[in-house]
Chains A and B, each alone.
Chain A
Amino acid sequence: MKFEFRFPDIGEGIREGTLVKWLVNLGDTVEEGQSLAEVETDKVTTEIPSPRTGRVLELKFEEGDTIEVEDVFVVIETEGEGEEPVEVENQPVDEGSAGVVGEVVASSEVIPSSNEGLDTTPRVSHKKKVLATPVARKLAKDLGIDITSIVGTGPNGRVMKEDILKAKEELSKPVAKPKALVEKLDIQYPKEAIERIPLSRIRKTIAEQMVKSRFTIPHTTAMDEIDISKLVEFRNRYKDDLREEGISLSYLPFIIKAVIKALKEFPEFNSTYDEENDELVLKYFYHIGIATDTERGLMVPVLRDADKKSIVDLAKEIEDLTTRAKENKAELHELKGSTFSITNYGSIGGHFGIPIINYPESAILGVGRIVKKPIVKDDQIVIAYVLPLSLSYDHRIIDGASGARFLNLLKELLSNPDMLLLRS
């Protein structure tokens, strides 16, 4: 019996991937669960396992090809007891999950937690029932548009066919690019002196995200230096003991703890500005994104529910997540869904920076390198460990005073670790 394996839907918004490498050859016998190919999507490179045991009859794509979701990808001859000559592993997405991830049997094995990730993330939009016409619903589904995100123009806000068509038009408009940049590219460079490198999918995604953030959100950045001598002392007291347990305790978990306290105090820093409805969506869950430098580009693995974890747990999880992100082993759901992000460029070097917000979040904290510096304390010049922080935030919804208050609270907590532990 022939089995047509279709490229599974691996997550919200991801409609295609690039075939990096076949891991099997024509005629090979494959086991269920054995990897068939390596595919790069805009978030991860992942191996696609075979949903069946059998012999590979056809490999439908060449390495380097783009595969769209639902394309027949591999044909496997299985030793079947089935009656039908061709079995198609794909079910139509049911009405209830329109706009969310279509549940394809195979895909749950490929990237098992892509659905989990969605389920654990509270989504405001899913709570409201959308008033829409039958044709509008079907059209939205076919065009891959999340109908809950559309503002209807029909009676009582009903989403009409026309609204979906307009939304589609909006989506297909190219992202605005700075004009100067485009013009510069017209300059003719001598061919031998340059090299043109096509952007990887990941790089393109990073570029789009940056443009979207920078051109949508009016950023402003507040900076401060914090004397963390006491925190350094505190950490030094325990870090060797912990190392023996295999835990490397950096300053980041302390910073995360302080940030969460501040987010709880100033919830607008853990929010999203919903322009469509002129509403501020405050999030009462704390998923902290950690900007991570990898060979393939910037990745943001996410510490889920960081408020519920101890400093030691956070230390362990940061280590695990960032290592896997660097090794390209992080799973898709681990790379999305953050509510506030931290970029720790200080681990490489640098003092202050102007971080770009991880859209659609409302703020991001940049952490610089801790250095010993002379400071004035009780009218004496003393040497202290100084941590530079840069906080960028969405100036549409957060005023400068709030930015300063947020930083002040971080300062209070980080300069006095006892207070940090007592209050968080």
Chain B
Amino acid sequence: MTKYDVLILGGGPGGYVAAIKAAQLGAKVAVVEKERLGGVCLNWGCIPTKTLLKTAKLYKDIQRAESFGIVGIDKSSIKVDWQLLLKRKDKIVNQLVNGIYMLFKKNKIDLYEGKGTILNKNQIEVNGQILTGKNLIIAIGAGDSSPPIPGLDDLVKSGKTINSKGALQLEEIPKDLVIVGGGVIAVEFATLFKTLGSNITIIQRSGRILSGMESEMAATLEKHLKREGINILTSTKLISFSHQGVKIEHKGEEKLIKGDKYLVSLGVKPDLSQVKNLDLEIDEKGFIKTNNKMETSIKGVYAIGDLNGKYALAHVASAEGIVAAENIMGVESTLNYNIVPQCVYTFPELASVGLTEEVAKERGHDITVSKFPLAANGKALAEGESLGFIKLISDNQYGEILGVHIMAPHATDMIAEAVAAMQLEGTVYDLAKAIHPHPTLSEIVSEAAHGAIDKPIHI
């Protein structure tokens, strides 16, 4: 029976990338996956939601076609066919997932489909078969966190309460959608269904939406979403769920918020039943403890992705997968968690990397904050998208870039420049000196860099 160099439990964006990297480095690899390769990211998360958001954006643009000089569209007759949209989504997802199966074949990775259980640090049982390997990577992700709120479990069972996966399986576009939670998933679904015609209420426990994102961007987006007609209730307390609605306390009063559907998105929590045979060190929040080489408390056992509690982001899982594979194959490798990009796919998009103003000050940096508005960018005006800005935080000693926050269309694409600059420990002088193509939205990056040194050119 084959003895593998690396056993990987879970074939999501962490596990499958780790598998390919390890195979490329010469390892004999087995992956155990209980559903389809690609994990939440490809099947239920990143890619499906972006497909739906594309349609929403297109729909929105068509509605305002006249402002771009296009006439003759009968606004009352255009509508989004939800089922047709889901078909397009499935086609794209299938294409991508099949691509991973191909990559596995190409890299001679053995795939075992079924629910795997870890027996010990060298063995996984799947479908009655025992796989043996020298190293183990745990990459089983995390599920929804469901806090103990009365009535929540009953409502989930009845199908009235859904999670993000459920939202992609809806029969039709809901008329009144209540979203519990104010994180990235919540605002993206709010944007999607609002554009598609739903009435939306966001119930957020803390004082603002997107509590993990840069505060000025989050506040600007919150104002914008409200202007679009989304009802956002912040600083609320969840009391109970029932078929009548969600009972909350808001501004000192009890309120009942009603909807056809309730989308609950209150963070993630890993299900560690598959790894219970390993005596792994677990943190106080229930995630597997790892260091920046992805090593757990057991030698030869690595944990990557959502279940290590660092960032529940596909690109972090993939990066961690590569680090784990490299360390296993003798290439010393670590991950710098200070340079993790975070993206929000609203209209406009938000993207951040590095420190915010507040954190930079807390850490004792002497900083310069340079802001440049999208309204002063030619390409943005041509595109009819002028809401947003860039904020660049730099350290005054050498001008090192500490953080970049962009609110703009394609902000999620543009942030990559800042990530690369930060990976190279670049300075505002480097960014200002780099010639940015004209006309592009990316010019706001060099403008902000010039602003950090002296003054932006075009303001």
A contact set with B: CB distance below 8 Å: 133-136, 138-139, 158, 160-161
Contacts and interface: CB of A to CB of B under 8 A. Distances in A.
B427 interface: yes
A133 B426 contact: yes
A134 B426 CA distance: 6
Contacts of B427: 134-135, 138
Interface in B408-449: 424-427, 429-430
Q: Which 5 A-B pairs have the closest CB atoms?
A: A133-B425, A135-B425, A135-B400, A138-B398, A135-B398
Interface of B: 398, 400, 424-427, 429-430
Nearest to B333: A155
Contacts of A158: 424
17 contacts: A133-B424, A133-B426, A134-B398, A134-B424, A134-B426, A134-B429, A134-B430, A135-B400, A135-B425, A135-B426, A136-B425, A138-B398, A138-B427, A158-B424, A160-B425, A161-B400, A161-B425
Contacts of A160: 425
Given A133-B424, A135-B426, 12 more contacts: A133-B425, A133-B426, A134-B425, A134-B426, A134-B427, A134-B429, A134-B430, A135-B400, A136-B425, A139-B398, A158-B424, A161-B425
A397 B400 CA distance: 43
Contacts of B424: 133-134, 158
**Which interface residue of B425, B427, B429 has the most chain A CB atoms within 10 A?**
B425
A350 B329 CA distance: 59
A129 to B, nearest CB: 16
A158 B426 CA distance: 13
A13 to B, nearest CB: 24
A413 B285 CA distance: 78
Nearest to A133: B425
A382 B152 CA distance: 111
A405 B58 CA distance: 85
B103 to A, nearest CB: 24
B277 to A, nearest CB: 36
A158 B423 CA distance: 11
A133 B423 CA distance: 9
Contacts of B400: 135, 161
A168 B141 CA distance: 41
A277 B28 CA distance: 33
A133 B336 CA distance: 15
A139 B429 CA distance: 15
Nearest to B332: A153
A135 B424 CA distance: 9
A161 B427 CA distance: 12
**Which interface residue of B400, B426, B429, B430 has the most chain A CB atoms within 10 A?**
B400
Nearest to A135: B425
A39 B425 CA distance: 41
A163 to B, nearest CB: 11
Contacts of A133: 424-426
A161 B400 CA distance: 10
Contacts of A161: 400, 425
**Which interface residue of B400, B424, B426, B427 has the most chain A CB atoms within 10 A?**
B424
A133 to B, nearest CB: 3
Nearest to A161: B425
A135 B396 CA distance: 12
A161 B398 CA distance: 11
A134 B398 CA distance: 9
A142 to B, nearest CB: 9
A133 B399 CA distance: 13
